Amino acid sequence: MHIIITLLLILLAFLKGNWRDWQKYSTTIMYVIICNLLYNVICQDYYLWRYEPDFLLHSHSLTDLLYSFFCLPAITLVYLTHYPNNTPFSKQFQYIVIWVIGSLIVEYPIYKFDRLLLLNGYEYWMEVIFYSLMYSMIRLHQSKPLLTYGLSVIIAVFMIWYFDVPIK
């Protein structure tokens, strides 16, 4: 299931991503990769969500690396390529909502087939908040990266506190 999703996202990025201006998105793509990798380091002993490997993947780490270096960059590229810049806030909000709903629809079968485990008090309804934050932060990083880094630290500290993630 994870490999199929990865291949579909790579195809989507190939067909719909703005490869001509990929440098414009590269620092935001790196930001997304780093955030995901940091989550895996900070929560390595206390995951809130964890991918269960399937098919050719034999561990959570390999599966998550697939998401970190292929799925998330593809999503970020397509998302930013078509983001409605210089439009009223209502259009931008609508765009984010569409991406949140789309992400939930794609993710739901992964969750239902136990390829995505939600752990330690994290529940599926929280994905609405997570994806809303994720897509908002991706967009914000494009225009105000320093603000995004500061907000990311605040959000991470809040999540560590709220979910009582043990830091060793």
Strand (E) or helix (H) holding 97: helix 89-112
Q: What is the mean pLDDT of residues 12-34?
A: 95
| Spatial CA neighbour of 157 closest among 42, 37, 28 | 42
Q: How much is the pTM?
A: 0.94
> In sequence order, which ranges of 20-71 are alpha helices (DSSP H)?
22-42, 60-66
Q: Which two tokens stand for residue 66?
A: 């697939």
Residue 55 has pLDDT above 80, yes or no: no
**How confident is the model over 115-150, as pLDDT tens digits?**
999 999 999 999 999 999 999 999 999 999 999 999
In the prediction, which pLDDT does 11 show? Answer: 96
Asked whether residue 57 carries a pLDDT value surpassing 90, the answer given is no
- Per-residue confidence band for 58, with pLDDT thresholds at 50, 70 and 90: confident
Q: Which helix (H) or strand (E) holds 51?
A: strand 49-51
**Per-residue CA distances from 47 to 2, 82, 89, 166 (Å):** 18, 32, 35, 10
Amino acid 56: pLDDT: 81
Quote the pLDDT of residue 59: 87
> Do the strands 116-118 and 49-51 form a parallel or antiparallel pair, or are they unpaired?
antiparallel
Over the stretch 63-113, which tens digit does the pLDDT of each residue have?
Answer: 999 999 999 999 999 999 999 999 999 999 999 999 999 999 999 999 999
